[in-house]
Amino acid sequence: MKVGDLVRAEFSESIGLVIDIAQKKCWRTSERGVGVDWNKVEPEPHAAVLYAHNSGTVDIPTTDLQVIND
């Protein structure tokens, strides 16, 4: 995944444009529970995605995105 890719999140039918990639930590409560301990997770790639229906970007883990412009 790279800047400029068109993507679809696994939880949405909307198509967005990747405008940036950054490393961020993500606490998944479904896997780790509700007690957050940032020392137990490593940063992972997140894409800043721009959608037409949104006034800003949404940061989404790249593992939750599918590139659709291939």
The alpha-carbon radius of gyration of the chain (Å, integer) is 13
CA-wise closest residue to 16 among 46, 57, 55:
57
The mean per-residue pLDDT over the stretch 45-61 comes to 93
CA-wise closest residue to 17 among 55, 47, 61:
47
The mean per-residue pLDDT over the stretch 24-43 comes to 94
The mean per-residue pLDDT over the stretch 27-43 comes to 94
The mean per-residue pLDDT over the stretch 17-26 comes to 97
Q: Is it the case that residue 54 has pLDDT exceeding 90?
A: no
CA angle 55, 23, 43 (to 5 degrees): 125
pTM of the model: 0.84
